[in-house]
Amino acid sequence: MKLDFTRWLPAIATNPNRRTALSVLGVTALAGLAFGPTAVAAPITTGPHQGAVAAIDKATGRDATDATDATVESGLTTGGSTDKPAAGKPTRDELVPYGVQGGQSRVPLDNAQRQNAKTIIEVAKKTGVGERGAVIGVATALQESKLYNLGHLGAYNDHDSQGLFQQRPSSGWGTEAQITDPEYSSAAFFQALRNVNGWRDMPLTDAAQTVQVSAYPFHYAQWEEQAADVVSQLW
């Protein structure tokens, strides 16, 4: 999202296409986020409170006792792996060609978040932006929505921003139903990224900001390390 929030709002919305959109406000207090390339971001490692967890369970249709959907403390949320990538997996140089900027933040990922990350990665393949584009997409969605497909947040909404990338119907990104469709919103993001001249040679936060036009342009930088780990594992 474009705004920083300090609590969760366990409200649920669904779009006409029956693709679940979570109307959940915030993740944790986002104090100390990077305001510049050399600033240090406070790592975000705590999860949502019980009410938000219940809201996510309801929206995703999973049983709260389903252990298979627990958050994962692996390379997706911790330090990742420096091992040689498996055949067919992107190399670290392909994922992070210029190194990360500033302090890095991480959040545990549940099945809903991992599925949304997989969708972003698959659309990155289809649209031709490749591994680096996938890292930019996942990092952007981590900043904007923590990889949840957010519906409208009512009075707390940032204008009419919705979905994984907090795109706005009023800005021409599509209808509410479209931008809360993870495949559509990912394709729209990557199409806009492809239209940015020289995006492959930009630092991640610059490429993301050129597309998103956020009030907090350097916040994208803090998610590059986790985004690279996610793409490396799910590619």
Q: Is the CA virtual torsion 34, 228, 143, 56 positive or negative? A: negative
Q: How far apart are CA 15 and CA 26, in angstroms?
A: 20
Query: Taking 60 as the threshold, does the pLDDT of residue 56 lie above it?
Result: no
pLDDT band at 155 (very low <50, low <70, confident <90, very high): low
Confidence bin at 44 (pLDDT 50/70/90): very low
Q: How many domains does the chain have?
A: 1
Task: Answer yes or no: is pLDDT of 209 > 80.
Answer: yes
Give the domain extent around 212. 11-234
Q: What is the pLDDT of residue 62?
A: 52
pLDDT of residue 217: 81
Average model confidence (pLDDT) across the chain: 74
The letter for the amino acid at 200 is: R
Report the amino acid identity of residue 14.
Answer: T
Residue 228 maps to a domain? yes
What is the pLDDT at residue 76? 57
pLDDT at 140 exceeding the cut of 60: yes
Residue 193 has what pLDDT? 98
Mean pLDDT of the 153-165 span = 75
Residue 4 lies in a domain: no
Is position 5 within any domain? no
φ, ψ of residue 38 to 5 degrees: the values are -105, 5
Q: Does residue 190 lie within any of the structural domains? A: yes
Determine the pLDDT at residue 145: 94
The helix/strand/coil state of 8 is coil
- Rounded mean pLDDT, 193-198: 97
Of 78, 73, 190, 180, the closest CA to residue 140 belongs to: 190
pTM as predicted: 0.70
- Specify which residues 167 forms β-bridges with: 162
Q: Flag whether 3 is in a domain.
A: no
Instruction: Report the distance separating Cα 60 and Cα 159, nearest Å.
Output: 25
Residue 42: C-alpha distances to residues 79, 143, 198 (Å) = 15, 13, 30
Residue 23: the pLDDT is: 44
pLDDT, tens digit, 9 for 90 and up, residues 89-114: 899 999 999 999 999 999 999 999 99
Q: What is the pLDDT of residue 9?
A: 31
pLDDT band at 85 (very low <50, low <70, confident <90, very high): low
Helix, strand or coil, per DSSP, at residue 11: strand
Contacts of 232 (CB under 8 A, 6+ apart): 75, 80, 81, 85, 89, 90, 92, 95
Q: What percent of the chain has pLDDT over 70?
A: 60
pLDDT at position 119 is 98
> What would the DSSP string read from start to end of 24-68?
---SS--TT--SSTT--PPP------HHHHHHHHHHHT--TT-GG
Average pLDDT over residues 187-209: 97
Q: How much is the pLDDT for 8? A: 34
The rounded distance, in Å, linking the Cα atoms of 190 and 175 is 17
CA 5 to chain centre: 16
> Is residue 2, in this structure, part of any structural domain at all?
no
Report the alpha-carbon distance of residue 146 to residue 136 in Å, rounded. 14
Is residue 175 situated within a structural domain? yes
In a domain, 6, yes or no: no
Helix or strand (DSSP H, E) at 185: helix 182-194
Type of residue at 26 = G
